[in-house]
Amino acid sequence: MPASSSLAGRAILSVGLKLGFYILALSIAGVLIYIPYAEWTYAGSLHLKLTFFCILGARIILWSILPRPDRFTPRVRCLNRRSTQSSSKHWPGLRRQRSSRCPRRFI
């Protein structure tokens, strides 16, 4: 990408690439689903192994493109006054400086 490209151009490019990815994935899944249908409609027969792998491949593709929610789990333990004696000495001074209540939990 040239150095003179604007932020709007980059945003349009990123949206276009994302849409292109989803269109490509959906079209591949559609073709995989269409193969057993076309075989049944035009040839009059159905190969079970081909049908199984086409449906399985389409299902895997469709499952893979679904967005997943992000879950955050803190990797540190919660601190309180009893667990850390050294920092509890500083809390009353901090409370007086800030003129607010001490929090019950720290992460």
Residue 83 lies in a domain: no
Task: For 52-82, write each residue's pLDDT tens digit.
Answer: 999 999 999 999 999 888 887 766 666 555 5
Asked which of 9-13, 46-50, 69-73 is least confident by mean pLDDT, the reply is 69-73
Q: What domain range is 14 assigned to?
A: 7-67
- Assess if residue 97 is contained within a domain: no
Residue 50 lies in a domain: yes
pLDDT at 80: 58
Q: What percent of the chain has pLDDT above 70?
A: 64
Band of residue 103 on the pLDDT scale cut at 50, 70, 90 = low
Total count of domains within the chain: 1
Best-predicted range by mean pLDDT (59-63, 83-87, 101-105)? 59-63
Residue 84 lies in a domain: no
pLDDT averaged over the chain? 81
Predicted local distance difference test score (pLDDT) of residue 23: 97
Average pLDDT, integer, range 9-21? 95
Query: Has residue 91 been placed in a domain?
Result: no
Q: What pTM value is reported for the model?
A: 0.60
Q: At what angle do helices 7-38 and 48-64 cross, to 10 degrees?
A: 160
